[in-house]
Chains A and B, each alone.
Chain A
Amino acid sequence: MGKVAAKIKVMPDSPEMDLDTLQERLESSLPEGAKINGVEREEVAFGLVALIPTVIVPDGAGGTEAVEENFTEVEGVESVDVENVGRI
């Protein structure tokens, strides 16, 4: 079975949120079988910066659901949106 790379946009709950801390929390929240392969930062507006990790998951049942759920639970996260998916 192949693997899928998903670009997931994670918005912090405020412009004051420390992004390094947030990134660490995201990394430690990953479900088994998923891994982060690089994290981009995108300046959005009015001081808000989105973290955009590329997460590798198996091309199988559940899709990106478990990752999205875990990221959503992370303290300091406002929202989680999968921007793009593609097989690698």
Chain B
Amino acid sequence: MSEDKPHQNLAIIGHVDHGKSTLVGRLLYETGSVPEHVIEQHREEAEEKGKGGFEFAYVMDNLAEERERGVTIDIAHQEFDTDEYYFTIVDTPGHRDFVKNMITGASQADHAVLVVAADDGVAPQTQEHVFLSRTLGIEKLIIAVNKMDVVDYSEDDYNDVVDEVNQLLNQVNFEVDDNSFIPISAFEGDNVAEASDNTPWYDGRTLLETLNDLPESEPPTDAPLRLPIQDVYTISGIGTVPVGRIETGVMNVGDDVSFQPSDVGGEVKTIEMHHEEVPKAEPGDNVGFNVRGIGKDDIRRGDVCGPADDPPSVAETFQAQVVVMQHPSVITAGYTPVFHAHTAQVACTIESIDKKMDPSSGEVAEENPDFIQSGDAAVVTIRPQKPLSIEPSSEIPELGSFAIRDMGQTIAAGKVLEVNE
């Protein structure tokens, strides 16, 4: 595969059993990315057992076993390329407790394929994943209406699913083009690499063509600098060294920076990355740096470093859109769980529940409801119990999302609509 092409991280999302693994297998197979020995091994076993056809789920299982036996596992393991791009597939874990990792970890995917089974339509995880992909800053969503073979390639069934998904997307203001919907069968291969004769009523692009036409992702270098602090060290001969990963913007030696909410600042003296001194650092770079006049006790994990003339926002309160993923009872005003946002973990009180959304229409179902529960999407006002630096997701999406945890579970995820400083 060529390393010259631009890179895209692609998430495959959707409800369990709607065919995510089969689709991944099909994409790898159609692009010639399944290792020859895995195909060969499968062919032999299939002949022995008298099984016909090529079963992608089997190939995926086989690759998983192989990876687990290996010494190191590269998480970014499934790769394929199109004419334009070099794709890495991010196969997201199914359990909700991993959502926190996806929000606080390195940003994973640029675009996503939402797999919805034609015979089942929008299911609970479809809704959850759509909301999360919005929260996690997925740019483009492609909707693969899968298992068209199971519904005999019915155009009516396809249109029903498209309508259902559109309602869901409206609910979270996720805009997609009409041509983002594709009727496919990952199992049979329809409309994945080649236009299918089974869907004469569909004249749009195949899935691979659609992937190939995705916009190129730009690193967020134009946004103001935001660098959440992971740790603060005292290094002999250097002084105080904060360490973290740049989320947005650029840090240059000589920049005047501010740490919030600790509210201290100074001039960047040196930046090191991979033990080498660098004049500047960009989004995704893990750096340690040294700021004139800053002591070890002046700043802490959870602070965000930004330009002194455009410092990180500190929320007195903030309004956010949340989706409740799992909660044993109901959430009411006054509830104070722990919020995980970038490197910060702060107890925050849900001060008011402002609106509850209707999942089927996307409209406000109830103003000022008494409570919300699992499966609900709502707009709430939140008051951090300690100062918290967070940004409106419309301005800096990388610093605008959070996971809410309580009782050892991730109970909700959200994105910031507005910050009141």
Instruction: Tell me if B's interface is mostly helix, strand, loop or mixed.
Output: mixed
The residues in A between 41 and 88 inclusive whose CB is less than 8 angstroms from any CB of B are 42-48, 50, 54, 56, 59-65, 78-79, 81-88
Indicate which residue in A4, A7, A47, A79 contacts B93 across the interface (CB closer than 8 Å). A4
A26 at the interface (CB under 8 A from B): no
Which residues in A have their C-beta under 8 angstroms from that of B235?
15, 46-48
Could you tell me if B408 and A62 are in contact, using CB atoms closer than 8 angstroms? yes
Residues of A in contact (CB 8 Å), total 39
Could you tell me if A44 and B243 are in contact, using CB atoms closer than 8 angstroms? yes
Could you tell me if B108 and A84 are in contact, using CB atoms closer than 8 angstroms? yes
A79 and B287 alpha carbons, distance in the complex (Å): 15
* Chain B residue at minimum C-beta to C-beta distance from A54: B73
Could you tell me if B231 and A84 are in contact, using CB atoms closer than 8 angstroms? no
* Chain A residue at minimum C-beta to C-beta distance from B99: A63
Q: Which of B76, B105, B108, B238 has the most CB of A within 10 A?
A: B105
Could you tell me if A38 and B274 are in contact, using CB atoms closer than 8 angstroms? no
Which residues in A have their C-beta under 8 angstroms from that of B1?
none
Could you tell me if B106 and A38 are in contact, using CB atoms closer than 8 angstroms? no
Residues of B in contact (CB 8 Å), total 47
The residues in B between 271 and 325 inclusive whose CB is less than 8 angstroms from any CB of A are 271-275, 286-290, 301
Which residues in A have their C-beta under 8 angstroms from that of B102?
85
Q: For the A-B complex with A44-B243, A63-B101 known, give 4 more contacts whose Cβ atoms are closer than 8 Å.
A: A38-B71, A46-B233, A46-B290, A63-B410
B binding-site residues for A, Cβ under 8 Å:
64, 67-68, 70-73, 75-77, 90-95, 97-98, 100-102, 104-106, 108, 230-231, 233, 235, 238, 241, 243, 271-275, 286-290, 301, 343, 408-410
A-B contact pairs, 8 of them (CB 8 A): A45-B243, A45-B271, A45-B275, A61-B97, A65-B97, A78-B233, A79-B230, A88-B75
